[in-house]
Amino acid sequence: MRAQVGIIGGGPSGLLLAQLLDRAGISSVVLERRTREHVLGRIRAGVLEQGAVALLREAGVAERLDREAEVHGGVAIAHGDRLHRIDLAALAGHGVTLYGQTEVTRDLYDARGAMGGAVIHEAEDVAIHGADTDAPWLTWREGGEARRLDCDFIAGCDGFHGVSRRSIPAARLAEFERVYPFGWLGVLSRTPPAAEELIYARHVEGFALCSMRSRSLSRYYVQVPLSDRVADWPDERFWEVLSRHLPPEVAAALVTGPSIEKSIAPLRSYVAEPMRWGRLFLAGDAAHIVPPTGAKGLNLAASDIRYLSDALIGFYRGGDEVGLAAYSDRALARVWKAERFSWWMTSLLHRFPETGAFGARMQEAELDYLFASRAAQTVLAENYVGLPY
């Protein structure tokens, strides 16, 4: 089996890259360890930057997004009994788009199928060979049989626990990580959202977030210790704690209901450098993780795919290797800015027991400054809506 580009990972990163390459006449095969149903069953973020939306339109997969998504011109931060709105549109020139990652993935799957593109699911024991040569190849097992794909380049879009990053020699890779001492308990419910726009809450008990997937599907989070289990959080307890984190008028209007999905996600910041080894290129969570506070995970993956697809298309159209050589540095420049913003938002809004009373007062002073300073709000807005590609 042969394709110009072998793509490991059938999530939004891998599928978006395949779609952009196929539209440019570049053949690719996507290998995914899980079933399509499993991939589409993942509950993920839903805040898209303008650059990500533009890339989805360029890929020809934004018809449903343009019809169903909501554009939010602001975001609110709850502190104490007050709700402070950051006017993203006025401060940064535009807002953000609310459209779930699951829906993005579904649209990409539909487009891949319409174009007859190859997505091989349940590809087990994927291995990378010859990445540091001019003729790399992939092997895997499919239905118990050994398979092989010869290709020119390999794109590792298989997430933090995938094989791609682990295939780079340890001596060639620098890793930077911070693991946070808490997680997010997330609940999905068929209830109307708590507000017209997202609410980030900083409370003495910890962080909370009121988000949404649609006008009838809401996503809520509260900060929990890493020692907690989902079983420790029946719905009644979750709604009670969430309500305490919100200003009284928001809590009074909160519509509760049975959870249809509940999970705890640990938080970490992580970057691997470089994002290229030979003809293997890392993209998305395979190369970097951000805490979800800044809504950057999917958006960083999109910017990686922007740079990588441009580089590959430039190579096949004119033999230009400049984009390939610059890919890692170009992607990492944007990655580290997003890491900084996500770290700052996390540090600002969560309860860090180890920092004590002094740390709590520093958070309060930072928030007071933010709410009083248009310049500080502009910095937040510019980063939240997404820095230019």
**SS3 of 173, please?**
coil
Catalytic residue among 220, 221, 327, 384: 384
E strand residue ranges, the chain:
5-8, 28-31, 47-48, 70-72, 75-79, 82-86, 96-98, 118-120, 124-129, 137-142, 145-150, 153-156, 174-189, 199-203, 206-214, 217-225, 259-273, 276-277, 280-282, 288-289
Is 292 considered catalytic here? Answer: yes
In sequence order, what DSSP letters do the residues of 267-282 get, joined into one string? EEEEEEE-SEETTEEE
Catalytic residue from among 99, 109, 200, 327? 200
CA distances for 238 relative to 207, 217, 278, angstroms: 13, 17, 48
Other CB atoms within a 10 A radius of the CB of residue 23 amount to 15
Active-site hit among 12, 72, 180, 220: 72
**Catalytic hit among 12, 136, 291, 292:** 292
Q: What is the β-pairing status of strands 206-214 and 217-225?
A: antiparallel
Buried b (16+ CB within 10 A) or exposed e, 164-193: bbebbeeeeeeeeeeebebbbbbbbbebbb
Distance in angstroms between the alpha carbons of the first and the last residue of the chain:
35
Residue 72 a catalytic site member: yes
Cα 361 to Cα 172: distance, rounded to the nearest angstrom = 42
Q: Which of 79, 296, 307, 350 is catalytic?
A: 296
**Is 121 known to be catalytic?**
no
> Does 369 qualify as catalytic in the annotation?
no
- Our answer to whether residue 307 is catalytic in this structure is no
Catalytic residues, which ones? 72, 200, 292, 296, 384
